[in-house]
Amino acid sequence: MKKQYLFYGLILGALMILMRLIEYRFLIRSHVFELYGGLIALLFMGLGLWAGRKFTQKRAPVEIVQVPPPVFDENKINDLGISKRELEVLQLIVQGHSNQEIADRLFISLNTVKTHSARLFEKLEVNSRTKAINRAQELGLIRVN
């Protein structure tokens, strides 16, 4: 008798599990769009969290080093025929300022800075800012401390 009860109990348990699986499958099939939408929403939420953390991390601050003004040799400046304003432009180029920053500091237009730079490049026989600095150092025109 106990074996029969045990057997019937196991069969009823298996039938209940089978009914739950059928109900679950029916539930999944009837709500498939909602489930896919939820999965896609979770995927994009994870992607958004990852991107937010990646792109908003604080970076190490950049250390700004002040370059001391160069020392100019007046005799060589006169030999090359460099004007006072061209000398000021060269000094700011050596310190690493852009054309717009030079214009703002000297209270002149950007085109005037470009003109002074072009004349300075002609006198030093170069075609770039970096070459102008190197050429001025080679000629002994400036000494950077």
pTM, 2 dp: 0.52
- How high is the pLDDT of residue 7? 80
**pLDDT above 90: percentage of residues in the chain:** 28
What amino acid occupies position 138? E
CB-based contacts of 91: which residues, under 8 Å, 6+ apart?
Answer: 69, 70, 72
| Mean pLDDT (10-residue bins), the chain, 145 residues | 79 82 71 81 89 80 70 80 89 89 93 93 92 88 68
Say what the pLDDT of residue 19 is: 78
Q: In the prediction, which pLDDT does 127 show?
A: 92
Among 140, 91, 95, 136, CA closest to 116: 91
Structure tokens belonging to residue 76:
């060589």
Please report the pLDDT score of residue 30 as a whole number.
75
CA quadruple 121, 107, 75, 139: dihedral positive or negative?
Answer: negative
* Calpha distance 16→19 (Å, rounded): 5
Residue 116's pLDDT is what?
A: 93
From residue 127, give the alpha-carbon distance in Å to each of 78, 84, 117, 135: 21, 20, 10, 11
